[in-house]
Structure 1
């Protein structure tokens, strides 16, 4: 991995940052609303956290699947290189 690839900002990183900032603002506003009115919209709170949690779960699943595919590709390349090495030795 070269330096440029390590420092590249990926889409999932941006999405996670946006979700984190959104949730911090959302929680701050809910606390302010609770302070002012004594209550919060429970359904809205549940739906927002459900959607954000679902999005993060899907992104985790995508990342895991990509990693498994990449590991499998490396394994196949290693096997092919091993067979070529055996053939060169004979």
Structure 2
């Protein structure tokens, strides 16, 4: 008599191996995307700011960017580091 759960077990094993493959792909692509270079759309995506606000920050040189001619470029890793610099210290509130 064969095990009635064998097909289910085979499918679960297959799902597990596919999941591990996807995780490996995500991890390998994650390191490449950290150094992604793009234009204003990348800056908007990373910072969640409007294009007008980003242009204002660029004109005041408050946001990391590169400019070659009239083309603005941003590096994802620099924008993420810039966002991290803005972290405020947390205060511990005492509730009495």
The TM-score normalised by the length of structure 1 is 0.37
TM-score, normalising length from structure 2?
A: 0.35
**Higher-strand-fraction structure:** 2
The structure with the largest helix share of the pair is: 1
